[in-house]
Amino acid sequence: MNFLNKKKILLIICGGIAAYKSLEIIRLLKKKGAFVKTILTRNAKKFVTPLSVVSLSQEKVYSDLFDYKNESEMDHISLSRWSDLLLIAPATANTISKLSYGLADDLAATVTLASNKQVFLAPAMNVRMWEHQSNKDNIKKLKSFGYKLIGPNIGDMACGEYGEGKMSEPSEILNLLEDHFKGLTNLKKKRALVTAGPTQEFLDPVRFITNRSSGKQGYEIANSLNKNGFDTTLISGPSSQIADDGINLIKVRTVEDMFRETISNLPVDVAVFSAAVGDWKIKKYSKDKIKKTDNIVINLEKNIDILNNISNHNSLRPKLVIGFAAETENIHSNAKKKLLDKNCDWIIANDVSDEKIGFESNENAVSIFYKNEEKEDIKKTTKAHLANQIVDRILNHLN
């Protein structure tokens, strides 16, 4: 089966001697039935001509960030939205550095930073440049953003030296892209559900009790599942986070709302309960705003336990149930207890007493407790990178 047929590939060609291989990439992609649009950086034009690219791709070549002929189309947005995948080949040390620091001084970098699609890098550079610590740091950073690398290979270089840094051959790149779409095709039959954010329990029409969750970790997990081909539903409490295109986003407020929507969207293959669900709700709701002159006593009662209910459901239980445990003390013992009490497959625990990670932070550090009593620690990293690592483990589990 041809998994590249009718796929939309945005190819970004950077300035390096390996740029000549990009022409063969275009030819092979077109042969497979893919649609190819191309961005040439300023330096790339010194190695391949726009005319040769147009001849092979049968599409216009994009290059200038501020082109009055195209700016009405907002190229840096429309190109990334048009594509199914971004491929940067060759990816030079300069481009890798710019992307790692979020610089957007040309069309290629701006499109990449504005993209909501999977980005593949095919690095090509001198062996000393590849091995330089600054480049290693930049590559590590891009991996944490979710970028995927193809190569580089070890071999003779145009500069006469030998080592790692040689761009992968076009046929290798094509095979990996096809494997990527093959994996997405296989996973399209898989459904995932994620809960995220806080919940709110109302005392009266204007007041409620809630918690500090921003929802960022849950949104990042949903985005990563979506990028990896899952049919993803995200049920979110109040949050300012943004879900990627293609995700079925359902907004709720109370625990009862979240439970009702969760049940309505089952069955699924994977359920990740990352929402910071309120354990209690107001026992007696006031339809009118309570005046500050009133003497009130707030009585609470337990909310429905969504995780416990779904994890122990006879017919609707997902194949993989993952719960989260936000703890301030005895993290390991509390997480293990929750794993058993809730009948989960995994519990992902984090220490929310640390102000620098967890709630209201872009970073997190967790321990994953598995049903087979194994434990795995993931050190402090961005929530986006952590989400990718969690999804990698979900994919390995399903496979």
pLDDT value at position 42? Answer: 93
> Are residues 181 and 311 both part of a single domain?
no
- Among 186, 213, 241, identify where a domain stops: 186
Would you call 180 exposed, middle or buried from its count of C-beta atoms within 10 A (0-12, 13-18, 19+)? Answer: buried
Share of the chain above pLDDT 90, in %: 68
**What CATH number did the domain enclosing 75 receive?**
3.40.50.1950
64 and 154 part of one domain: yes
For strands 280-282 and 300-302, give the pairing: antiparallel
Domain boundary among 186, 208, 236: 186
Same structural domain, 181 and 214 = no
List, for residues 319-364, the tens digit of each pLDDT value.
Answer: 999 999 988 888 889 999 999 999 999 999 988 877 777 787 888 9
Residues 160 and 230 in one domain: no
Write out the two tokens for 336: 């293990």
Burial of 249 (0-12, 13-18, 19+ CB in 10 A): middle
- For helices 93-101 and 107-114, the axis angle rounded to 10 degrees is 50
**Annotated catalytic, 159?**
yes
Number of H-type helices and E-type strands within the chain: 13, 20
* pLDDT at position 343: 94
Task: State the pLDDT confidence band at 134, using cuts at 50, 70 and 90.
Answer: very high
What residues contact residue 396 under an 8 Å CB cut-off, 6+ apart? none
Q: Which residues have CB under 8 Å from 390's CB, separation 6+?
A: 221, 224, 272, 322, 348, 368
Identify the CATH number of the domain in which residue 268 sits.
3.40.50.10300
Same domain, 340 and 203: yes
| In the predicted structure, residue 241 carries a pLDDT above the cut 80 | yes
Residue 111 structural domain: 8-186
- Which tens digit of pLDDT belongs to each residue from 256-309? 999 999 999 999 999 999 999 999 999 988 898 988 877 888 899 999 999 999
Output the six-digit token pair for 113. 């930073």
Residue 72: the pLDDT is 47
**Residue 127's pLDDT is what?**
93
- Indicate whether 234 and 364 sit together in one domain: yes
Does residue 191 contact residue 228 with C-beta atoms inside 8 Å?
A: no
pTM, entire model: 0.73
Specify whether 206 is located in the same domain as 177. Answer: no
Is the same domain home to 176 and 48? yes
Is 287 within a domain?
yes
Domain membership of residue 2 (yes or no) is no
Exposure string (b/e) for 304-324, b if CB count within 10 Å is 16 or more?
Answer: ebbbbebbeeeeebbebbbbb
Count of domains forming the chain = 2
For residues 90 and 124, the answer to whether their CB atoms sit within 8 Å is yes
Q: Are residues 172 and 233 in the same domain?
A: no
Domain co-membership, 154 together with 220 = no
User: Which of 186, 209, 237 is a domain's end point?
Assistant: 186
Tell me which residue of 115, 143, 151, 178 sits closest to 18, measured CA to CA. Answer: 151
In a domain, 46, yes or no: yes
Residue pair 203/290 in contact by the 8 Å Cβ criterion: yes
Q: Is the peptide bond before 318 cis (omega within 30 degrees of 0)?
A: no
DSSP secondary structure string, 230-241? -EEEEEE-S---
- Whole-angstrom distance, CA of residue 141 vs CA of residue 121: 13
**Higher pLDDT residue, 74 or 161?**
161
Give strand pairing partners of 271: 193, 321
Question: Closest Cα to residue 229, out of 183, 178, 176?
Answer: 183
Residues 117 and 239 in one domain: no
Which one is catalytic: 54, 74, 159, 340? 159
Is residue 1 situated within a structural domain?
no
Choose between 184 and 155: higher pLDDT.
Answer: 155
Dihedral sign computed on CA atoms, order 80, 22, 141, 391? positive
Handedness of CA 102, 108, 112, 115 (dihedral sign): positive
User: Is the domain of 173 the same as that of 64?
Assistant: yes
* pLDDT for position 188: 65
